[in-house]
A and B are shown apart, each in its own frame.
Chain A
Amino acid sequence: MLAFVLIGLPVALIYLQPDLGTAMVFIVIGAIMLFAADLPWAYIIATAVAAALMVPVVWNNLQSYMQTRILTFLDPASDPDASFNVAQALISIGNGGLLGKGFAQGSQSQLHFLRVRYADFIFSVIAEELGFVGALILIVLLAVLLLRLFTIADQARDNFGRYLVVGIAAMIMFQGIVSIGMNLGLLPVTGITLPFISYGGSSLLTLMIGIGLAESVAMRSRKIEFD
């Protein structure tokens, strides 16, 4: 229960900001950490059921733009202007082809059809300019990074290290999945950035600190070999 409070406090504050995306990140990080901490399945199921029951309540309390985004995702035709960004993202990705338009040559991004192309829709830019190959490499790299982080977590000497690394991995994984999924039209549009790629110094700094912490855990787990 303490865990819920620890997670709930920052989530509540961020939600009041209001920033649904980041609040979600915190919730997910917490959830995954709890999941990794061998929370009994019964609890997990119970929480999931509770969350499902909460949906109507939460929905009514969401900011209107958040509702719009979700509705738009579910039915793009309902608001052509709002789905403009998503459509342009898809067009950008489709425009890329196998090898892309070439670095800084994408018509969609260079002519500003893509909004927030330096942050939210950075993946579309990469897909357009570097093509399928570039986007594939990016996804694979992120996947490899995540797998490595989970390996570190697996090999951690203590639970603190393990959960710490799982949390970092969860953050990267959630941001990556949501950001890329949003670009690919698989998930609703949120303001979540693509880890390591999107513009934003503090985001990058946070991620680097996270990786540093993970490396630290890895280092300590290996130290035993010198003993």
Chain B
Amino acid sequence: MISRPLPPSLRIMLLRGLVVIVAVIMIAQLWKLQFLQGEGFRLRANENRFRLVETTGPRGVIYDRNGQVLVRNRPSFNIAVIPGNLPDDEAEAEAVIKRLEGLITFSENDIPVHATDTVTDTEAGGPPQLGSSPPPQFRERLTVAQAMKEVEDGLQGGAYRPVVFAGPVSEETAFAIAEASYDLPGVELVIEPVREYLSGTLTSHVMGFMGPIPQEHVEDYEAEGYRADDQVGLSGVELTFEKALRGQNGSRNIEVDVNGREVRTVGDIFPSEAGDNLVLTLDARLQALMEDALQKGLDSVKANVGVAIAMDPRNGEILGMVSLPSYDNNLFADGITADEYDALINDDNRPLLNHAISALYPPGSTFKIVTASAGLQEGVIDERTRLGDSFDGRVDGLIYVDNRFFPDDPRYAQPFYCWIHTYGTGHYQVNVREALAVSCDVFMYQVAGGYRKTFEGVGIDKMVEYTQQFGFGDVTGIDLPGENPGLVPTPRWKRLTYAETWAAGDTYNMAIGQGAMLATPLQVLNATAAIANGGHLYKPQIVRQIVDVNGNVVDDFKPELIHDLPVDPDYVAVVQDGMWGAVNYPNGTAKALSVPGVSVAAKTGTAEFFDPKIGTLPNNRLPTHAWITAYAPFEDPEIAVVVFVYNGGEGSATALPVAQDILRGYFALKNPPQPAEAADPAADQALPDQVPAPADAAAPGAANNASQPASFRLCAAGLYAGHVSLRDCDGLQRNAERPDLQILSCPADRLRPDRHRSVDRDGCFRLPPADRAAVAAADHHAGRAGRRGGAGAGARRHGRLVRRRCRAGAAGRDRQGAVRPGLCAVPEQPPRPDAQAAMGGAGVCADRPAGGADLPPA
């Protein structure tokens, strides 16, 4: 088929032109986009693909003093919904959330929906919240409707910001949801680190817990760079050391796809920093042991509340702090349910409260160390002053305070009882050591408040002053939140509070730690520790070191002296002797307390209290708290303990066994039952100790024995020489042949030998405390560690001994008489080395060689 071509078409030319024009327009637009506006678009492309993601700096770990981990971090699973990733169709989105809820409900039935609401009600109407326990974090779960609303809101703003649908869920739930993620578009598993308290209830009061920032402090925290939804420490060291523990959040640039899913990390711009780790002064083993002991003590009297604290009196380090009942702070880490929280805050025993530092109780007789110190220092009594209940001729544990307005009419006089009055007797006349040992109330009444017109006491103003000097009425400054300063009543306080005048009876009550006097167990312990260490009031420390993540020590806590007691060390020593006596005198209130191989000093307390819920007991008496304070070893105290049992009855019956368990446990931990020569071989050479272990020193104690200062085992008659009979001293007389000793007889007539004899089972006299100090000084010269670590201290105490002996001698009693009811081995004058050496051997029993000969010449 042949035909001529059609003529060129004008219309087609036009179309060609159109093609060219359009192509040119497109290229121009392309040029505009890629070059003229290219920079802007490239920036936006980068914005699209890169996200600055905050990386959480892990919070510091907490160790006990031996490096055992007490708190660490573990992952917690939250379920979040990302509104932008849900199916666009609303019904489908709701179906996804319903499916999600089904999964969670299936595995976590017990967690109530709306936990938060319920609890707000409880908080408003429930019992008053404790200052140290702000509202914790609750497990929360949104309902489907709530979630949908949140999603709607989210779609308006940040469509890719996760909305937390369910708070911490169990691992199983988390994994179930992860598995079903194909069916759950827009649902994401958010993993956050939370605290894991390995020691749980054991240390919860010290550790505290974490939670969301309290509403009223949000601004303060935000100023510190926190985000509003950060978790912060709310109690315990978690709160006080929040700054150190807190990890520094870092940020990281990640490339994300359109759904916000991370594709890869692009450089680590600001690495997060782990928080510093804490090394506590606590010993977890001791803590566990203390808890067991205290629980046992509570069970024995069916009490619910109790406190046990152990401290190193040399530096104020808290070795253990138990407050029962306790709670599990892991509940807070996971988000506590409303029911669990209700149970905690509605518990009458207030498990959230750290009773050791936040609760106030009358200190009772444990307070007598203060009264005694004040009396001695103020010169009201000296160590030989005898006071008692027999001014009226009756030994009945009863004295009277005259009525202010009718001082001469005995009918108006108010009786003040000693505890022993119940038993139908009194303590007769006792000196200060004995008064502490037997816990004589009458003695303390008189020291503090005087007695009629015959004896002038310390007086309330001075009493208040000394009480405060011992740390009462003010916080100790321990690094734990919620410490209570306690109450030291003063005339002014009474006037302002009750509009009444301070009466002599108030001073009497104060003398024995009763009346309005209130203290925390920690204050009682700290005052005891100050006596134990010779008069230094330290700030109790709970943290030893702050260590950064690389192990460098950031902060090393040094012992912090609050102040020295305004009490002469000699008088402190007298009080120590009294506490020693409480354990070692036959009628000491704590004589049941024994720690094999360790000398212990203690003070019991049985403090009356009034609780409207308890009222009075059937015998019309008030219920009592059981107290004991103790420290050991007596020569060189390294642990001081306070035990408190709420409504526990007698201190000596309830608190004492607990303290005993704790002390025994402490020394068993310190000196594991092994051959003990490792302890101090040099000492054994310098002063060979061949004393056979006493029969009652059973297995662990026997091993401990050798490592204890030999001085304790030395036998001599000393301070209370008059307490022992001639017959008891038979074994000692042979040593009297020592030519370098001057033997004094002791005034026996002023004491009652039958009641104050203090004899060891092996037939040796127990070396009374003061004399042991002298021996320790001798030990020191022999190359041993002397008592309180210095020749100076030893010498000073030695000097005191001399003075005392001389006074005793000056009493004119049968100075060089043939009959020696006791041996007072005393060097003539200020201690010379040889004299001290002599002291070292002074009281050595017949059954052991004298150590003196082995001592090197100074």
* Contact status A112-B257, CB under 8 Å: yes
Residue among B26, B35, B40, B259 with max Cβ neighbours from chain A (10 Å): B26
* Contact status B19-A150, CB under 8 Å: yes
In which size bucket is the chain A interface?
35 or more
Q: Give per-residue flags for A206-227: 1 if the beta carbon is below 8 A from chain B beta carbons, else 0.
A: 0000000000000001001001
Please tell me if A168 contacts chain B, counting CB pairs below 8 Å: no
* Contact status B33-A184, CB under 8 Å: yes
* Contact status A96-B258, CB under 8 Å: no
Please tell me if B492 contacts chain A, counting CB pairs below 8 Å: no
A-contacting residues, B5-28, CB 8 Å: 5-6, 8-9, 11-12, 15-16, 18-20, 22-23, 25-27
Question: Smallest distance from the beta carbon of A121 to chain B beta carbons, Å?
Answer: 13
Residue of A whose beta carbon sits closest to that of B45: A95
Please tell me if B2 contacts chain A, counting CB pairs below 8 Å: yes
Residue among B9, B15, B22, B256 with max Cβ neighbours from chain A (10 Å): B15
* Contact status B49-A139, CB under 8 Å: no
Please tell me if B394 contacts chain A, counting CB pairs below 8 Å: no
The answer, among A95, A131, A156, for a CB contact under 8 Å with B6, is A156
Question: Smallest distance from the beta carbon of A114 to chain B beta carbons, Å?
Answer: 8
Q: From known contacts A147-B19, A158-B3, A177-B22, infer whether A135 and B38 are also in contact, taking CB-CB under 8 Å.
A: no
Please tell me if A97 contacts chain B, counting CB pairs below 8 Å: yes
Please tell me if A164 contacts chain B, counting CB pairs below 8 Å: no
Please tell me if A94 contacts chain B, counting CB pairs below 8 Å: yes
A162 and B9 alpha carbons, distance in the complex (Å): 10
Please tell me if B674 contacts chain A, counting CB pairs below 8 Å: no
A146 and B35 alpha carbons, distance in the complex (Å): 27
A94 and B31 alpha carbons, distance in the complex (Å): 9
Tell which of A48-56, A66-74, A85-93 binds the partner: A85-93
Please tell me if A171 contacts chain B, counting CB pairs below 8 Å: no
Please tell me if A127 contacts chain B, counting CB pairs below 8 Å: yes
Q: From known contacts A94-B40, A147-B16, A169-B15, infer whether A127 and B30 are also in contact, taking CB-CB under 8 Å.
A: yes
A108 and B37 alpha carbons, distance in the complex (Å): 17
Q: Give per-residue flags for A145-162: 1 if the beta carbon is below 8 A from chain B beta carbons, else 0.
A: 011001001111111001
Q: From known contacts A91-B45, A184-B29, A186-B29, infer whether A166 and B38 are also in contact, taking CB-CB under 8 Å.
A: no
Please tell me if A181 contacts chain B, counting CB pairs below 8 Å: yes
Contacts of A88 in B (CB 8 A): 48
Residue of B whose beta carbon sits closest to that of A87: B44
A108 and B18 alpha carbons, distance in the complex (Å): 32
* Contact status A93-B41, CB under 8 Å: yes
* Contact status B31-A132, CB under 8 Å: yes
The answer, among A36, A131, A143, for a CB contact under 8 Å with B11, is A36
Q: From known contacts A111-B48, A111-B263, infer whether A93 and B9 are also in contact, taking CB-CB under 8 Å.
A: no
* Contact status A97-B38, CB under 8 Å: yes
The answer, among A140, A142, A169, A224, for a CB contact under 8 Å with B2, is A224
Contacts of A143 in B (CB 8 A): 19-20, 22-23
Contacts of B41 in A (CB 8 A): 90-95
* Contact status B19-A96, CB under 8 Å: no
Please tell me if A173 contacts chain B, counting CB pairs below 8 Å: yes
A143 and B11 alpha carbons, distance in the complex (Å): 17
Contacts of A139 in B (CB 8 A): 23, 26-27, 30
Residue among A98, A132, A142 with max Cβ neighbours from chain B (10 Å): A132
Contacts of B40 in A (CB 8 A): 94
Residue among A136, A154, A177 with max Cβ neighbours from chain B (10 Å): A154
Contacts of A132 in B (CB 8 A): 30-31, 34-35
Contacts of A92 in B (CB 8 A): 41, 45
* Contact status B31-A95, CB under 8 Å: no
Please tell me if B276 contacts chain A, counting CB pairs below 8 Å: no
Contacts of A35 in B (CB 8 A): 11, 15
A186 and B35 alpha carbons, distance in the complex (Å): 17
* Contact status B44-A91, CB under 8 Å: yes
* Contact status A166-B12, CB under 8 Å: yes
Contacts of B256 in A (CB 8 A): 111
Question: Smallest distance from the beta carbon of B150 to chain A beta carbons, Å?
Answer: 18
Residue among A95, A139, A155 with max Cβ neighbours from chain B (10 Å): A95
* Contact status B15-A166, CB under 8 Å: yes
Q: From known contacts A111-B255, A186-B25, infer whether A38 and B9 are also in contact, taking CB-CB under 8 Å.
A: yes
A224 and B12 alpha carbons, distance in the complex (Å): 22
* Contact status A98-B34, CB under 8 Å: yes
Residue of A whose beta carbon sits closest to that of B9: A154
The answer, among A36, A94, A112, A147, for a CB contact under 8 Å with B34, is A94
Residue of B whose beta carbon sits closest to that of A37: B11
A83 and B507 alpha carbons, distance in the complex (Å): 86
* Contact status A97-B34, CB under 8 Å: yes
Question: Smallest distance from the beta carbon of B521 to chain A beta carbons, Å?
Answer: 63
B-contacting residues, A174-207, CB 8 Å: 177, 180-181, 184-186
The answer, among A37, A38, A90, for a CB contact under 8 Å with B33, is A90
Contacts of A140 in B (CB 8 A): 23
Question: Smallest distance from the beta carbon of A176 to chain B beta carbons, Å?
Answer: 8
* Contact status A112-B27, CB under 8 Å: no
B-contacting residues, A28-78, CB 8 Å: 32, 35-38
Contacts of B46 in A (CB 8 A): 107
Please tell me if A113 contacts chain B, counting CB pairs below 8 Å: yes
Question: Smallest distance from the beta carbon of A13 to chain B beta carbons, Å?
Answer: 27
* Contact status A146-B9, CB under 8 Å: no
A136 and B31 alpha carbons, distance in the complex (Å): 9
A180 and B30 alpha carbons, distance in the complex (Å): 10
A147 and B14 alpha carbons, distance in the complex (Å): 11
* Contact status A94-B19, CB under 8 Å: no
Query: Which residues of B approach A to under 8 Å, CB–CB?
Result: 2-3, 5-6, 8-9, 11-12, 15-16, 18-20, 22-23, 25-27, 29-31, 33-35, 37-38, 40-42, 44-46, 48-49, 255-259, 263
Top 8 nearest A-B pairs by Cβ distance? A94-B41, A95-B45, A143-B23, A111-B257, A112-B258, A184-B29, A146-B19, A132-B34
Could you jot down 21 A-B contacts, CB within 8 Å? A36-B11, A38-B9, A90-B41, A91-B45, A93-B41, A97-B35, A111-B257, A112-B259, A113-B49, A132-B30, A132-B31, A139-B26, A143-B22, A143-B23, A153-B12, A156-B6, A158-B6, A184-B29, A186-B25, A224-B3, A227-B2
Given contacts A91-B45, A92-B45, A111-B258, 4 further A-B contacts (CB under 8 A): A35-B15, A36-B15, A186-B26, A221-B5
Query: Which residues of A approach B to under 8 Å, CB–CB?
Result: 32, 35-38, 88, 90-98, 107-108, 111-113, 127, 131-132, 135-136, 139-140, 142-143, 146-147, 150, 153-159, 162, 166, 169, 173, 177, 180-181, 184-186, 221, 224, 227
